Amino acid sequence: MADVRVRFAPSPTGYLHIGGVRTALFNWLWARKTGGKFVLRIEDTDQERSTPESKAIILESLRWLGLTWDEGPEAGGDHGPYVQTERLAIYKQFAERLIADGKAYRCTCSKEELDAAREALKARDPKANFRYPGTCRDKSHAADSRHVVRFKVPTEGAVTYVDKVFGEVRTPNGAQQDFVLLRTDGVPLYNFGAVVDDTTMGITLVARGRDHMVNTPPQILIYEALGAPVPEFAHLPMMLAPSGEKLSKRHGAVSVTEYREKGYTPEGVLNYLVRFGWSCGDREIFSMAELIEAFTWETCGRGDGKFDAKKFLAVNHEHMKQESLQTAQTYAERSKPFLLARGLVLPASDDMLVAALKTVRDRSRTFLEAAEGADFYFRAEPVIDEAAALKFLVPAVADKLTAFANALTGASAWDEKTLEAAVHAWLEAENLHIKEVAQAARVALTGRSASPGLFEVLAVLGRDVSLARLERGRERAAAGSVS
């Protein structure tokens, strides 16, 4: 088998959609698994909607996800340029060849008259199927006439191909019309541009969403007319909104950018998306290396699925929790931007940062949640939840807070184990239960009624800060609810 060359060819018309990410991921996995090349191509022939900003966002998003490309914009390669509007001469050359070979022809029918005919037919019969009538099919318009180039679809026969996911698909040529290859201004339409690029870039397998399945027969017709080898095709089932419609902004976050901002991990995003239309027995959570190892087209499903934000969060949570998926150092490092975004001042030493984040790890489903959960570690004074203070920092607990602090002061060392032992000794001596002081201490130390374990917090906060916060809590408790 020739070396695998796959590609991802987004249009720079907006953010990178998570459906696009999945397509990119499957291609990337295949390239990495087979040792082939992953090519990135920008399909910007829709000059109305394409923008350089969008292209930059897409590149940046792919980089964040770690879906690195071997050839393409900013990476170079021997098959460039990798931006379609820079390849116009190539399309023209291929189109001329098809015209010379009688496989395509110049058509001078204007868009206006065709649109009018289409609408007229629709007015007569709403269910009618409008197709280009073939007006120019057997004419030979001059090259300098104002024209588009149309493909001459064979009247007989059918296109058959074996999809790597769906199996054999057969479409009669009679179902197709003479579609446009090149616009009046010489810019190619999707099917033509894609085929010319895929063939000149040596793409061996085209994997894309099922919404493109309908483009495959005309594309194969073009390959054949060109006498070019037809690549393999693999279509992926669609990712739909919970309602069953096409997934769009109306259904919540659909751009990678949003998930990045919400603090999802790239691996979590990818892991959720890969399990959409692909499975490996009962396994749910994979590292990237494991995915590359396990991925195959044969184990891809065929049924469309519905996007589930809760499951997405849960999958991301797994990637947040497991140290086998990311080290404590990586975890802390990745949390930094979210901590900084809250205006927090981070400690000079990474040790405290790592230790602090470690205590919120299990309870954080995203880095945004981790930053929220660890917030109190990085402020001079914790932000007090008034409802919690009102409920727990009451006069009756003031003395216990003092005793609690004294027990801590008496500990032989300021670490989790030692502090816990010291406090338990005190509790036992006084015949108290930790419940009688825990919530008050928690509010004093963290400002909230829910936090990591008390002794973990004390250890990370350190002796001075802990005692100062407990004292302030005691003062407030003694003063009662009037604060």
Cα-atom radius of gyration of the chain, to the nearest Å? 31
Binding-site size for RNA (CB under 7 A) equals 85
90 and 196 Cβ atoms separated by less than 8 Å = yes
252 binds RNA (CB under 7 A): no
| Per-residue CA distances from 152 to 87, 110, 113, 183, 396 (Å) | 23, 18, 20, 15, 90
| Per-residue CA distances from 453 to 204, 264, 329, 439 (Å) | 55, 25, 21, 11
Smallest distance, Å, CB 2 to RNA? 26
187 binds RNA (CB under 7 A): yes
Q: Single out the residue of 310, 313, 221, 302 nearest to residue 265, CA to CA.
A: 313
295 binds RNA (CB under 7 A): no
Smallest distance, Å, CB 213 to RNA? 5
From the list 54-62, 270-278, 287-295, 374-382, the region that binds RNA by CB under 7 A is 270-278
- Exactly one of 118, 262, 336, 472 binds RNA (CB under 7 A); which one? 118
290 binds RNA (CB under 7 A): no
Backbone angles phi, psi at 358, to 5 degrees: -60, -35
204 binds RNA (CB under 7 A): no
Nearer to RNA, 142 or 348 (CB): 142
344 binds RNA (CB under 7 A): no
Q: Which 423-452 positions form the footprint of RNA (CB under 7 A)? A: 434-435, 438-439, 442, 449-452
Strand, helix or coil at 50? Answer: coil
- Exactly one of 36, 263, 268, 277 binds RNA (CB under 7 A); which one? 277
409 and 467 Cβ atoms separated by less than 8 Å = yes
Q: Which 37-76 positions form the footprint of RNA (CB under 7 A)? A: 43, 45-46, 49
Q: Which 307-336 positions form the footprint of RNA (CB under 7 A)? A: 308, 310-311, 314, 321
Q: Which one is catalytic: 122, 139, 246, 249?
A: 249
246 binds RNA (CB under 7 A): yes
Smallest distance, Å, CB 42 to RNA? 9
- Exactly one of 63, 137, 249, 302 binds RNA (CB under 7 A); which one? 302
Is-catalytic flag, 92? no
Q: For residues 137 and 408, what is the distance between their CA atoms, to the nearest angstrom?
A: 91
Q: Which 350-369 positions form the footprint of RNA (CB under 7 A)? A: 362-363
Q: Single out the residue of 103, 184, 202 nearest to residue 147, CA to CA.
A: 184
Q: Where are the beta strands (DSSP E) in 210-343?
A: 232-236, 239-240, 305-306
412: which 2 tokens? Answer: 């032989």
Smallest distance, Å, CB 318 to RNA? 7
